[in-house]
Amino acid sequence: MTIGRKLPLALGGAGLAAAFVLLTPGIGILAADHLDPPSRTDPAMDSTPDRPADIADIYAWHTSTSVILALTFSGPQATTLPATYDRDVLYGINISNAGATTDTEIPIRIKFGQDGANQYGVDVSGIPGVTGDITGPVETIITKDGVKVRAGLYDDPFFFDLQGFRNTLATGNLAFNPNRDFFAGQNLTAVVIEIPRDRIEAGSRLDIWASTARLGGQL
C-alpha cells in the first residue's frame, strides 16, 4: 500500500460539479506512498504485490555539516515480522545538485545480499568521495570515507490519521483525529545515509527523489 506518503487519495474523474462524487472511488487504496502504485504493490489489486519495492517515504534534511537521507520501504508491518532484504530490488536515491533540477548528478544505488542463513548485507554505491562501494552487514553502522550507512528494521517514522483521511474523502468534511495514528506501533525496513555536506553541495538547491526497480521486470 502506498500509504505513508502517498496518501490514500486515488482520485480521478474530471467533472467539476461532480467532484465530490469522484472523491469516493478509490478511497482506501493508499496513504503516503505505501502501496503505491496499487497495481504493483497493493494486495487488494495485485495478486503478486511487490512489497519489497514499495517505497514508504523518502526523507532528506541538512545540517551545517551533513546531508542526511532516509529511505523507508516495505511497510508498515506488524512488530512481529522481520525486515525485508530482497536482492532483486535496486533502490535509488537520486540527487540533482546542479543544472536542470530534473537531472541526476548523484545517483545513489542500494542493494541487499545474503551470506548464509539470516545474515544480510547492504551495498551502497554512487556517493561522492567514497572509494568503491560501501558494504557491510545490516543492523549495524557502517562508516567509510566519512559517510555513515545503516540499513535495518525500524519503527515506521510516518505519523498520520489515515482513517480520518479516508473519512474526509468519503464525506467531504474534514474528519481528522489528532489522537489516531495509523502508523503507530508498526515497523518497516529502511536505509539511512549521512554524507558530509561538502560532498553534495554545489549550489544552494538540491532536488531529491527515490526510486525502486526489480531485476528482470515487475512481479
Tell which positions 97-116 bind another protein, by CB under 8 A. 99-103, 109, 111-116
Pick the binder of another protein from 53, 127, 134, 195 (CB under 8 A).
53
Instruction: Tell me the closest approach of the beta carbon of residue 128 to another protein, in angstroms.
Output: 15
State the distance between the two ends of the chain, measured CA to CA, in whole angstroms. 15
Site string for another protein, 130-149 (x = CB under 8 A): -----x-xxxxx------x-
Quote the DSSP letter at residue 31: B
Binding mask 150-189 for another protein (x = CB under 8 A): x-xxxx-xxxxx--xx--x---xxx-x-xxxx-xxxxx--
In the complex, minimum distance from the CB of residue 163 to another protein, in angstroms, rounded to a whole number: 11
**Toward another protein, which CB reaches closer, 51 or 131?**
51
Which listed residue (28, 88, 144, 196) binds another protein by CB under 8 A? 88
- Sequence-distant (≥ 6) Cβ neighbours of residue 23 within 8 angstroms: 11, 169, 170, 172
- The helix/strand/coil state of 162 is helix
Q: For residues 70 and 61, what is the distance between their CA atoms, to the nearest angstrom? A: 9
Q: In a 3-state reduction of DSSP, which class is residue 110? A: strand
- Site size toward another protein, by CB under 8 A: 131
Residue 84 in the binding site for another protein (CB under 8 A) = no
> Taking Cα atoms as reference points, which of 182, 153, 173 lies closest to residue 3?
182
Strand 187-196 and strand 66-77: the pairing is antiparallel
C-beta of 131 vs 179, nearer to another protein: 179
Binding residue (CB under 8 A) for another protein from 28, 37, 146, 196 = 37
Distance CA 60, CA 70 (A): 6
65 binds another protein (CB under 8 A): no
Does residue 43 touch another protein according to CB under 8 A? no
Cell of 99: 543544472
Nearest Cα residue to 107 out of 95, 91, 123: 95
Can residue 128 be called a binding residue for another protein (CB under 8 A)? Answer: no
Residue 196 sits in the site that holds another protein (CB under 8 A):
no
